[in-house]
Structure 1
Amino acid sequence: MKITKLVVHCSDSPNNLDISAKDIHLWHLERGWSGIGYHKVIKRDGTIENGRPEYWVGAHVKGHNSHSLGVCLIGRDQFTDAQLDSLKKVVIDWHIKYPDAEVVGHCDLDSGKACPSFDVAKWVKANQ
């Protein structure tokens, strides 16, 4: 599988609710999926949790799952400094493995989505 996109998502849950990868796994099972659709989840305190293994095609952005990895920030539109620091770590780690992959927001691939509620391209430029 050739990874060409690293997709940033948000859980669209209340900003004060600290849910986990396990919670999302259960939600996605309830939707009839084969488990959590994201490869990484970043909790409110910056903890990075594993979701699907990277070799397993994700279920996080329709039409792009076969060539992307997905990371999900817990919250709706206010992310903590710890989360953004951890997001930078995840992106750096993935870029080492997939140097040609573009970092994008879910909304950049699906205009019907607001997720992750910030301009990912602008964030990437500020964090290079």
Structure 2
Amino acid sequence: MNITKLIVHCSDTPDSRDVSAADIHRWHLEQGWSGIGYHKIIKRDGTIENGRPEYWYGAHVKDHNLDSLGICLIGRKHYTNQQMQTLYDQLKLWLKKYPKAKIYGHRDLDNNKSCPNFNVQQWWDITFSNGL
């Protein structure tokens, strides 16, 4: 796969509720999908869980699944410091593996979405320059 996009999502679940990759997998199956659409899930405590293997095309952004990996923050708008640290660490790992990739929020590729409810590119630029 030629990965050129790393796309940040949110689960759009209440910020007080923690869910797992298994929960999202079940929800996506209930919608008739072939399973969880994201490659990684970041729980409220910063734990990262695997979704789809990286070698499987994602199912997370229409018209952008063939060249992207998707990572989903559990919550809606208020993410924990642990989640943001894990997000930063995972994106850095992926950028080493896929150096041509650029980082996006779901909303950057679909005007009908607000997910993940923050400006991912701005966050990345500030966080990366500060070396979190």
Pair in the same fold by TM > 0.5: yes
- Number of aligned pairs? 128
Identity of aligned residues (%): 62
Aligned to 1:123: 123
SS in 2 for 1:100: coil
Amino acid at match of 2:55: Y
Shift of the alpha carbon at 1:94? 0.3
Shift of the alpha carbon at 1:100? 1.0
1:59 equivalenced with 2:69 (yes/no): no
1:24 equivalenced with 2:36 (yes/no): no
C-alpha distance in 1 between matches for 2:89 and 2:51: 16
Amino acid at match of 2:66: S
Q: Deviations over 1:67-94 (max 9, x none)?
A: 0000000000000000000000110110
Runs of 4+ aligned structure 1 residues displaced above 3 Å come to none
Shift of the alpha carbon at 1:121? 0.8
C-alpha distance in 2 between matches for 1:51 and 1:126: 28
Amino acid at match of 2:62: K
Where do 5+ consecutive residues of structure 1 fail to align?
A: none
Q: CA RMSD for the aligned pairs?
A: 0.4
C-alpha distance in 2 between matches for 1:96 and 1:53: 17
Amino acid at match of 1:58: G
Where do 5+ consecutive residues of structure 2 fail to align?
A: none
Shift of the alpha carbon at 1:126? 1.2
C-alpha distance in 2 between matches for 1:126 and 1:12: 24
**What is the correspondence of 1:8-47 to structure 2 with a 5 Å cutoff?**
8-47=8-47
SS in 1 for 2:117: coil
1:96 equivalenced with 2:96 (yes/no): yes
Q: Deviations over 1:39-82 (max 9, x none)?
A: 00000000000000000000000000000000000000000000
C-alpha distance in 2 between matches for 1:126 and 1:98: 21
TM-score normalised by L of structure 2 = 0.96
SS in 1 for 2:17: coil
